[in-house]
A and B are shown apart, each in its own frame.
Chain A
Amino acid sequence: MTKAELTAHITAGFTGRVQVLENNQPEPYFIVNPDDLVAFARYLHDDPALQMTFLMNLAGVDTGERFEVVYSVCSYQLKHRLLFKIQMPRDNAEFDTVMQVWPAANWYEREVWELFGMTVRNHPNLTRFLLADDWNEGFPMRKGWTGTDFIPLPDRG
Chain B
Amino acid sequence: MMELAPIFTWIHDLLLSLGLGPTWTDLISQIGLAVLVFSLLCIVALFLVWWERKISAHIQQRYGPMMTGWHGVFQTIMDALKLIQKEDIVPAVADRQVFFWAPVIVFTCAFAAYIVIPFGKGLIVSDLNIGILYIIAITTFTIIGLLMAGWGSNNKYALLGGMRSAAQAVSYEVPLVLSIMGVVMVTGSMSMNDIVAAQSGWAGFRWNVIFQPLGFVIYVIAATAEANRTPFDLPEAEQELVAGFNIEYSGMKFAMFFLAEFVNMFTVSAIATTVFLGGWNGPFLPSWIWFLGKTLAMVFLFMLFRWTFPRLRVDQLMEFAWKVLLPLAFVNIIYVGVMSLWLKW
CB–CB under 8 A between A and B in the complex? Answer: no
Where the two chains meet, the residues of A that have a C-beta atom closer than 8 Å to any C-beta of B are none
